[in-house]
Structure 1
Amino acid sequence: MLFRRIVVNCGLRIVSILRCRSNPQQHFASSYSNKSTIYALSSAPGKSGVAVIRVSGDESANVIMKMTRFQTLPKPRHATVTNIFNHHSGEHLDKAMVIWFPRPHSFTGEDVCELHVHGGNAVVSSIFRALSELPGLNHAEAGEYTKRAFLNGKLDLTEVEGLGDLIHAETEEQRKQALKQMDGLLKSVVETWGKDLLNCLAHLEAYIDFGEDQHIDDDVIDDVTTKINSLAAQIQEHLNDKRRGELLRSGVRLAIVGKPNVGKSSLLNLLTTKQTAIVSPIAGTTRDVLQSTIDVNGFPVIISDTAGIRDTTDVIESEGVRRAKEAALIADLVIFVIDAMEIIQSNLTTYVKSINKQLDCINENQRTLIVINKIDLMKSSQMEILKSSLKNCDSDMMVTTLSCTTQTGFKQFLNDLSNQVKILCLGDDSSPFSPSLTQERHRAHVANCFTELCHCQSVLKDDVVIAAEHLRLAMNNLGKLTGKIGAEDILDVIFRDFCIGK
């Protein structure tokens, strides 16, 4: 019981120290308390049936009282239909719906009111003019509502970033990932790691401060070692996720490569459903890297159509070949297009290896989908030879056949492509990586935390004091991830892409 009480007291002391020196919400929120009340259009700009104007800050209640002529504030979180007036001129501006959100039960944690007005440009402009004439009100900057929500402790940085990703999501899978992060899935995992670290640190502090006086057993070090080993293994699993969350957030880079005139540009046009690239029977038509972004079954894919790779004395084409190889080497997925007529007399596996060696632009560790194009030009006997070759090819090779001209096999190709992109973004069905690290910032802080844990493991048996310091540094890195430590350094970067009114 005595040891338990010591550990609890020590843990409380550690928590108190960390809170005092590492909670930017408290530090910044106090500076925001004296700032002006902000207002902005929170719905999309332009003509609409309804426009939502959000007001946040100490003057929100006065906005309601002065612009509606109410004698008392309306019931919180209930919609009230009323007339809206210009407080100074008395002019009737609109008939609207007003909702009152008293602090702290609002998105920003401040007093908030929303005016749901008719969405004509003239109506919105007249209400903005009326708001600007009220004392203490200023138009909001981009992302300022969300920034205030963070500073008032309503969201942590991972949830803020999830909200930003949700706003910018363009595909279904991006939406799902962003929503999970905004709902706090990543935050909950990081908080669990932080609690485990705090527990280990509390035990080490107790051992350091009271080990000799209270005869604390050395088994404490063994217990901490076991917990740290387990935690390090969990964190390492997340770091070994092949950047799946980042790929889903930013898009899978796909390069279409092959020799000249095998149908690379035709395939790009099929995927984008428009004439993105010029198609010509003349070899070497494409001389630069053409990029297009498409949605493949809910996953974002950035396609690069490249110049045909071959030896050439043409200066411009040579530069195109160099860029093609560069695009292929940095791609997450390579589509290797082959002319079906070239492999009739060859073993597919041998042919692919020889061509790959000639092209010198495909990493053996990259995911590669081989596309055998122009099957519409083959005779039935030749198709039988091709099918036999496919049966005997390397089982690890991912091969599909199609005709860009007749679109035969295109549906199967899309299915194969979708499966490969899904594995890159989500892993296979047994993948343990949930939630994903969606940004390089997340990965850097988690990697630093893991490094400190490794340092702790290496010195724990010999120097408990140094080991405890490494645990503190590990906790600091998790604090930077959620915004509890050092948030002021990254706030501008996070909020700069938010829209006005959010």
Structure 2
Amino acid sequence: MQTGDTIIACATAPGFSARAIVRLSGPGAFVAVDRLTGNSRSVRTERGVASARMRLGGSSSMPCMIAVFPGPRSYTGEDVVEIAMPGNPTLVELVIARAIGAAPGIRMAGPGDFTARAYLNERLSLAQAEGVASLIAAQSQSELDEAKRLVSGERGRMYREFADEAMTLLALVEAGIDFTDQEDVVAISGTDLRRRAGALATKIEQVLGVAAGCEVESTLPRVALGGAPNAGKSTLFNALLGRRRAVVSEEAGTTRDVLEERLDLSRDLSGGGEVLLCDTPGVDEIARGSVDAGAQDASREFLSRADVVIWCDPSGRFDESSLQFGKETRAIRVRTKADLPRASEGREAIAVSALDGFHLPSLRRAIADEAWGGKSKAGVLPRHRRALGAASRELREIEGELASSGCSLGEPEVIAGRLRVALDALGELTGKLTPDDVIGRVFATFCVGK
């Protein structure tokens, strides 16, 4: 990532507007603007705003406002100038071209260059820098709320607390490895380590929005379609996704494996997000052979661990004995095949037809409400989810290994290795242990001028 030179870009949206802002940052920012406006003040020590006339070549000029932000008390930590001018794209391009030629070492900024310099000059943490991009790109209330938490530093402080606790646990474990011959050094007990590792994992999982102790393969809520064979689950699965993913047949028992696909519900509920939509084999009292019996057992196990079950029944009766859910599982009763007549009014349910889309928007809103209603975790950035998920997995592995060994620290080196993996994952969020390629990927998502 190139630094030390001066960068320039239009900081406002492209196209015609009442005003556009051209931003410069770097050691040549003041010199370039002074030459373009004809001022002789090449060294500035105080911030301020002044009116000026921008030379456009020949005898042409235009009025503008110049905002000056001397470093290090600026957004990037460098000398920054912002030129407020008429929002004509042709004029903007002309001003940028003349500024690049006004002083040596000035170039067009790349995506995220300004915010990257703010991070490198310690004006922003990496999480806050990501928050800037998220704030610009937010498409739902949950994403906007998460971006605000990132920019304010709330998330960063939380991540540092997680990392500090992981570092403390690692130091206590390694003390027992390196200083076992010293009487005044007391290593952490297996019982205490198990308790603290589990508590830290629970805190991380609360941020991710998953139940404590659950496998964090995917931190998205699992929404499973359940019901008897040939209840229309696979057809509804395809309809919700908007494409053919599951095989559909009139023959009962077609689905033998659980199918999983991401479904974005951010537009269906303020605060909603993605869920993992799952199509499961049908469950009934009669198994059609050993393969079918195995598929039904797997389906029952999966439904017991789902966050939300869409209970599909074309009859609308919803027999309580036909499906067993987990204690924390939320169920949505759906009368499928609503385009077909039925004998009687069954229990209250959402009547849908996957063939013509009848009430599908209502079902999407219901799913979003059950999966994400009242939660703020939907907007957690994917990179943060991956890092937090990796840290949580290692901590749960430590907790499980200690539980199975009776809290004996028989292999402290293995536990220390797991703690280092967790700490490395958290370090990607705190910025203290962030590889250069991760930093590059973060700022590559920005638009030019930010």
> TM-score w.r.t. structure 2 length?
0.66
Report the 3-state secondary structure (helix = DSSP H, G, I; strand = E; otherwise coil) of the residue aligned with 1:297. coil
Q: 1:133 to 1:113 in 2, by over 3 A?
A: same
- Which of 427, 431, 435 matches 1:479? 427
Per-residue displacement from partner, 1:179-235 (whole Å, max 9, x unpaired)? Answer: 2123222221232344456667499879978995xx74x5x546x888755642332
- Which of 342, 350, 375 matches 1:401? 350
- Distance in 1, Cα, partners of 2:263 & 2:421: 43
Q: How far off its partner does 1:481 sit?
A: 3.1
Q: 1:343 to 1:207 in 2, by over 3 A?
A: closer
Per-residue displacement from partner, 1:282-312 (whole Å, max 9, x unpaired)? Answer: x99xxxx998765122123579899xx9xxx
Q: 1:237 to 1:156 in 2, by over 3 A?
A: same
Cα RMSD, aligned residues only:
5.7
Report the 3-state secondary structure (helix = DSSP H, G, I; strand = E; otherwise coil) of the residue aligned with 1:498. coil
Q: How far off its partner does 1:172 sit?
A: 0.6
Kindly indicate whether residue 199 of structure 2 is the aligned counterpart of residue 234 of structure 1.
yes
Q: How far off its partner does 1:92 sit?
A: 3.9
**1:297 alignment partner in structure 2:** 269
Q: 1:132 to 1:99 in 2, by over 3 A?
A: same
Kindly indicate whether residue 320 of structure 2 is the aligned counterpart of residue 349 of structure 1.
yes
Give matches, 1:421-432, under 5 Å: 421-422=371-372, 426=376
- Distance in 2, Cα, partners of 1:120 & 1:250: 46
- Distance in 2, Cα, partners of 1:371 & 1:467: 47
- Which of 54, 60, 63 matches 1:84? 54
Q: How far off its partner does 1:67 sit?
A: 2.1
Q: How far off its partner does 1:501 sit?
A: 1.4
Q: How far off its partner does 1:136 sit?
A: 1.1
Amino acid at match of 1:244: G
Give matches, 1:300-379, under 5 Å: 300-301=273-274, 335=310, 337-339=312-314, 342-343=315-316, 348-349=319-320, 369-372=332-335
Amino acid at match of 2:203: H
Report the 3-state secondary structure (helix = DSSP H, G, I; strand = E; otherwise coil) of the residue aligned with 1:46. coil
- Distance in 2, Cα, partners of 1:476 & 1:290: 28
- Distance in 2, Cα, partners of 1:117 & 1:210: 69
**2:290 alignment partner in structure 1:** none
Q: How far off its partner does 1:160 sit?
A: 2.6
- Which of 104, 116, 130 matches 2:98? 130
**2:255 alignment partner in structure 1:** none
Q: 1:79 to 1:408 in 2, by over 3 A?
A: same
Per-residue displacement from partner, 1:464-483 (whole Å, max 9, x unpaired)? Answer: 99988887776555434322
Kindly indicate whether residue 66 of structure 2 is the aligned counterpart of residue 98 of structure 1.
yes
Per-residue displacement from partner, 1:152-187 (whole Å, max 9, x unpaired)? Answer: 222232223333332322101111012212322222
Amino acid at match of 2:437: D
Report the 3-state secondary structure (helix = DSSP H, G, I; strand = E; otherwise coil) of the residue aligned with 1:80. strand
Structure 1, unmatched stretches of 5+, are 1-27, 310-324, 354-361, 391-399, 429-433
Q: 1:333 to 1:500 in 2, by over 3 A?
A: farther
Aligned pair count? 403
**2:448 alignment partner in structure 1:** 500
Larger fraction in helix: 1
**1:441 alignment partner in structure 2:** 387
**Contact 2:12 2:20 survives alignment (8 Å):** yes
- Distance in 2, Cα, partners of 1:476 & 1:408: 49
Per-residue displacement from partner, 1:99-154 (whole Å, max 9, x unpaired)? Answer: 11111122221111111221111221111221221221100111212222222222
**Contact 2:225 2:233 survives alignment (8 Å):** no
**1:316 alignment partner in structure 2:** none
- Distance in 2, Cα, partners of 1:141 & 1:450: 41
Kindly indicate whether residue 128 of structure 2 is the aligned counterpart of residue 159 of structure 1.
yes
**Contact 2:44 2:70 survives alignment (8 Å):** no
Q: How far off its partner does 1:414 sit?
A: 6.4
Per-residue displacement from partner, 1:69-119 (whole Å, max 9, x unpaired)? Answer: 234367845332322224xx4554432222111111222211111112211
Q: How far off its partner does 1:51 sit?
A: 1.4
- Which of 55, 58, 62 matches 2:27? 58
- Distance in 2, Cα, partners of 1:221 & 1:373: 60
Per-residue displacement from partner, 1:460-501 (whole Å, max 9, x unpaired)? Answer: 978999988887776555434322224213123222222111
Q: 1:59 to 1:229 in 2, by over 3 A?
A: farther
Per-residue displacement from partner, 1:338-382 (whole Å, max 9, x unpaired)? Answer: 43xx346xx5335668xxxxxxxx999986533125779879x93
- Distance in 2, Cα, partners of 1:465 & 1:251: 33
**2:370 alignment partner in structure 1:** 420
**1:16 alignment partner in structure 2:** none
Q: How far off its partner does 1:445 sit?
A: 4.7
- Distance in 2, Cα, partners of 1:295 & 1:451: 36
Amino acid at match of 1:103: G
Amino acid at match of 1:180: R
**2:142 alignment partner in structure 1:** 173
- Which of 17, 34, 37 matches 1:68? 37
Amino acid at match of 1:85: R
Amino acid at match of 1:297: L
**Contact 1:452 1:473 survives alignment (8 Å):** no
Report the 3-state secondary structure (helix = DSSP H, G, I; strand = E; otherwise coil) of the residue aligned with 1:490. helix
Amino acid at match of 1:80: A
- Which of 2, 11, 14 matches 1:42? 11
**Contact 1:41 1:53 survives alignment (8 Å):** yes
**Contact 1:343 1:351 survives alignment (8 Å):** no
Amino acid at match of 1:481: L
Report the 3-state secondary structure (helix = DSSP H, G, I; strand = E; otherwise coil) of the residue aligned with 1:163. helix
**Contact 1:158 1:481 survives alignment (8 Å):** yes
Structure 2, unmatched stretches of 5+, are 211-215, 251-260, 283-298
